[in-house]
């Protein structure tokens, strides 16, 4: 198992080593895993093309490290605790031994259906143990999983299936989320009918037992196949640089990109960061509330914890069901030691009752984490006092789908914490702040564009099917740098504070949404000429979506038109991308080259109409007064 830092001196020592001798540092971490063959060289460092490779020539299977190697030492320890959507339903517990058997059965079922090394398998699943089992089953046989968040629409699902040319879709019949039951299989059916010709089979897990449409040529029940398989399956021997998974994420332009992660580096980095950031000790109960459809679910519900031999909890439900005490009730019930959630959930629960957590026994908590978006000061203090009782430090962890694992974070009980600061880079992470011309801002008390200047093992390798897009998006802005898309500050002591995206990406409740995607969806409405979407501060969601819409003809019934636009967005992307506000306009502010001037639209959406700056360079400066007059509160 990777090494664990236990003191400030050890952190400084590890950091120093990771910069002076990165290859030696990561080789030492990597050597704590089971490899079928050791690597020939540690790193290929080409940050320009880019062509980064780690543990070159090494052979392994990540599931042997997640499962098999634990059997001897902790076979009967609980690997996964599952907590149902319904508070009164019993929890389900799987030991490492049981999990390995389930993964093998599922792996054998996938093989029997013709899935093999390199094939892509799409997931559209609720938060149930079978999603973890099937993801690991893919990894076991060398198939590549592409998990799509089950809140996305059939359109969005179809796009992702087609982009990765998935051979199989794994889904459930229905998905329970709080008081709602969502038809999952029928969304998959609809997506497949949209020309997903690559899909040969759909594997369906019966989760609720609700009625589904069935095509015996394509559809297979999990309980009729997986459950009948043998519980042994040889792990496929993978190259360290073979693809492990694809995960789609939104960028500032175009359609979501399929971020590609590979086996070796991702394994080493997620285990190392999990052990250190959460200071996980044997016997601890760890709970991350993310959905497995996001990178946080991949790295810190499944891979990181299982690699470290931890007990990881999966929660099917939502924070407010049956009431706003559910998280605290679950923490109390399972004596959770590490709790990891998103600021949007913290704010929602804070709004539901300042003193609410006081009714629960949270004394087991040793570390509490935050991820996904900047945490505001009020929420930080509430979390610190009401949940952590100033005993369990907050780890405000900054990272991205593309980074694969946590990059900047305090280390609990080791480094200090400061409200709203992600604080210090982990060993192996070399952040820099640049000015817009790419000049590095040296020293402390500076603010700039956050880049990383040296490769780390779990960085993205490419964007699926389009390497050029990976290069232009992340490696072309500044020479020999990975550009994160975030702005950040470094304080007088060298701590980092992440300010937020500097590109056209909005962070709504911790979900990344590209403004271009929402605009494309809105423009699908036949009554719309063009639209412009920006983010604005939102009390609970962090950012809300503000859409400016230019219609073909005068809008008579605004409310009706708004509803139609929301329906189009729900259909094209999913409910998470629905604009909070829609302002109908006669013109959008344009530059002389025809570009929409978003700066002005952002200021108006933020309610800062007195800070529009210079509008004289606009092609149509007269539109500004109309935009201001029509601004929505
Ligand atoms: C893990 C995840 C990535 C974007 C990133 C930031 C924002 C994430 C923090 C944060 C401030 C944090 N992956 N972000 N964590 N901002 N403080 N601790 O969220 O790919 O979905 O999003 O999220 O803007 O670029 S993600």
| Atom number of ligand 1 nearest to Cα 510 | 19
Q: What is the DSSP string of 486-538?
A: EEEEE-TTS-EEEEEESSSEEEETTEEEEHHHHHHHHTTSTTEEEEEEEEEEE
Query: What is the rounded CA–CA span in Å between residue 288 and residue 331?
Result: 11
Measured in Å, residue 376 CA sits from the centre of ligand 1 at: 14
pLDDT recorded at residue 616? 84
**Ligand 1 atom closest to the CA of 484, numbered from 1:** 25
Q: State phi, psi for 351 to the nearest 5 degrees.
A: -70, -25
Q: What would the two tokens of residue 533 be?
A: 């979407």
Nearest CA to ligand 1 atom 7: 373
pLDDT over 90 at 164, yes or no: yes
**What is the whole-number distance in angstroms between the Cα of residue 559 and the centre of ligand 1?**
34
Distance CA 305, CA 405 (A): 12
What is the whole-number distance in angstroms between the Cα of residue 501 and the centre of ligand 1?
9
Nearest-CA neighbor of 474 among 464, 465, 463?
463
What is the number of the ligand 1 atom nearest to the C-alpha of 375? Answer: 17
Q: Which of 631, 572, 581, 575 is nearest to 601 (CA)?
A: 631
Q: How far apart are CA 490 and CA 302, in angstroms?
A: 32
Contacts of range 431-440, beta carbons closer than 8 Å, 24 or more positions apart: 431/407, 431/488, 431/496, 432/481, 433/488, 433/489, 433/490, 434/478, 434/481, 438/477, 438/478, 438/479, 438/481
Q: CA 277, CA 299: separation in Å to the nearest integer?
A: 13
Q: From 434, 427, 374, 432, select the one nearest 405 (Cα to Cα).
A: 427
The residue with tokens 């640049």 is 434
- Over 80: is that where the pLDDT of 2 sits? no
Give, for 106, the enclosing helix (H) or strand (E).
Answer: helix 96-112
Extract the tokens encoding 17: 């080593």
How much is the average pLDDT of 123-147?
98
Distance 160 CA to ligand 1 centre (A): 22
**Per-residue pLDDT tens over the stretch 277-313:** 999 999 999 999 999 999 999 999 999 999 999 999 9
Please count the other Cβ atoms lying within 10 Å of the Cβ belonging to residue 556. Answer: 8
Predicted confidence (pLDDT) per residue in 386-423, tens digit: 999 999 999 999 999 999 999 999 999 999 999 999 99
By most ligand atoms within 8 Å of CB, the mutation choice from 151, 372, 380, 499 for ligand 1 is 372
Q: Which of 369, 397, 400, 402 to mutate to test the pocket of ligand 1 (most atoms within 8 A of CB)?
A: 400
What's the pLDDT score for residue 234? 98
Q: Where does ligand 1 bind, in terms of residues with CB under 6 Å?
A: 249, 294-296, 371-374, 396-401, 422, 484-486, 498, 500-501, 507, 512
Q: Would you list the DSSP string of 262-296?
A: EHHHHHHHHHHHHHHHTT--TT-EEEE---TTSHH
Specify the pLDDT at position 247: 98
120 pLDDT band, cuts 50/70/90, is: very high
Angle 142-146-152 (CA atoms, 0-180°, nearest 5)?
Answer: 165
Q: Which residues contact 88 (CB under 8 A, 6 or more apart)?
A: none
Rounded to the nearest 10 degrees, the angle between the axes of helix 154-164 and helix 184-192 is: 60
């Amino acid at each position: 198992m990777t090494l664990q830092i236990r003191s400030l001196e050890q952190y400084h020592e590890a950091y120093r080593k990771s910069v002076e001798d990165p290859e030696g540092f990561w080789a030492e971490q990597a050597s704590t895993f089971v490899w079928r063959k050791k690597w020939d060289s540690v790193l290929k460092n080409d940050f320009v093309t880019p062509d980064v490779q780690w543990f070159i020539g090494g052979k392994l299977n990540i599931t042997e490290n997640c499962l098999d190697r634990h059997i001897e030492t902790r076979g009967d320890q609980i690997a996964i605790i599952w907590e149902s959507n319904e508070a009164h339903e019993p929890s389900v517990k799987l030991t490492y031994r049981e999990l390995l058997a389930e993964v093998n059965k599922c792996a054998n079922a996938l093989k029997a259906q013709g899935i093999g090394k390199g094939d892509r398998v799409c997931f559209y699943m609720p938060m149930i143990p079978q999603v973890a089992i099937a993801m690991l089953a893919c990894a076991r046989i060398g198939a590549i999983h592409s998990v799509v968040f089950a809140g996305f629409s059939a359109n969005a699902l179809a796009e992702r299936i087609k982009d990765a040319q998935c051979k199989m879709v794994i889904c459930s019949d229905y998905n329970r989320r709080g008081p709602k039951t969502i038809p999952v299989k029928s969304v998959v059916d609809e997506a497949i009918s949209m020309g997903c010709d690559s899909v040969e089979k759909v594997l369906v897990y019966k989760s609720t037992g609700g009625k589904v449409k069935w095509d015996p040529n394509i559809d297979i029940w999990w309980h009729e196949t997986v459950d009948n398989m043998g519980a042994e399956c040889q792990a496929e021997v993978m190259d360290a640089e073979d693809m492990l998974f694809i995960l789609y994420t939104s960028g500032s332009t175009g359609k979501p990109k399929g971020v590609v992660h590979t086996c070796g580096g991702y394994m080493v980095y997620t285990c190392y960061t999990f052990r250190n950031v959460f200071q996980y000790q044997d016997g601890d109960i760890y709970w991350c509330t993310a959905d497995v459809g996001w990178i946080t679910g991949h790295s810190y519900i499944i891979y990181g914890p299982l690699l470290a031999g931890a007990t990881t909890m999966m929660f099917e439900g939502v924070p407010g069901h049956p009431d706003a005490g559910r998280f605290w009730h679950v923490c109390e019930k399972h004596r959770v030691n590490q709790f990891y959630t998103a600021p949007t959930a913290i704010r929602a629960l804070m709004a539901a009752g300042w003193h609410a957590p006081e009714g629960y026994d949270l004394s087991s908590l040793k570390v509490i984490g935050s991820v996904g978006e900047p945490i505001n000061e009020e929420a930080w203090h509430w979390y610190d006092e009401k949940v952590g009782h100033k005993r369990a430090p907050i780890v405000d962890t900054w990272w991205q789908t593309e980074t694969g694992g946590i990059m900047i974070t305090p280390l609990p009980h080791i480094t200090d914490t400061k409200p709203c600061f992600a604080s210090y880079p982990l060993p192996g992470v070399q952040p820099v702040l640049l000015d817009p011309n790419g000049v590095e801002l040296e020293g402390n008390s500076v603010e700039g564009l956050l880049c990383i200047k040296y490769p780390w093992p779990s960085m993205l390798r490419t964007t699926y099917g389009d390497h050029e897009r990976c290069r232009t998006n992340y490696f072309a802005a500044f020479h020999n740098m990975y550009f994160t898309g975030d702005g950040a500050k470094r304080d007088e002591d060298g701590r980092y504070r992440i300010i937020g995206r500097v590109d056209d990406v909005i962070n709504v409740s911790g979900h990344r949404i590209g403004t271009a995607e929402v605009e494309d969806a809105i423009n699908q409405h036949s009554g719309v000429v063009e639209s412009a979407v920006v983010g604005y501060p939102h009390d609970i969601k962090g950012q809300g979506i503000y859409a400016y819409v230019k219609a073909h003809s005068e809008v008579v019934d605004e409310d009706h038109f708004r509803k139609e636009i929301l329906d189009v967005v729900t259909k094209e992307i999913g409910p998470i991308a629905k604009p909070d506000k829609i302002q109908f306009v006669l013109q959008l502010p344009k530059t002389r080259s025809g570009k929409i001037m978003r700066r002005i639209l952002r200021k108006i959406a933020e309610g800062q109409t007195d800070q529009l700056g210079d509008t004289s360079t606009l092609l149509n400066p007269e539109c500004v007064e109309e935009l201001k007059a029509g601004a929505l509160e």
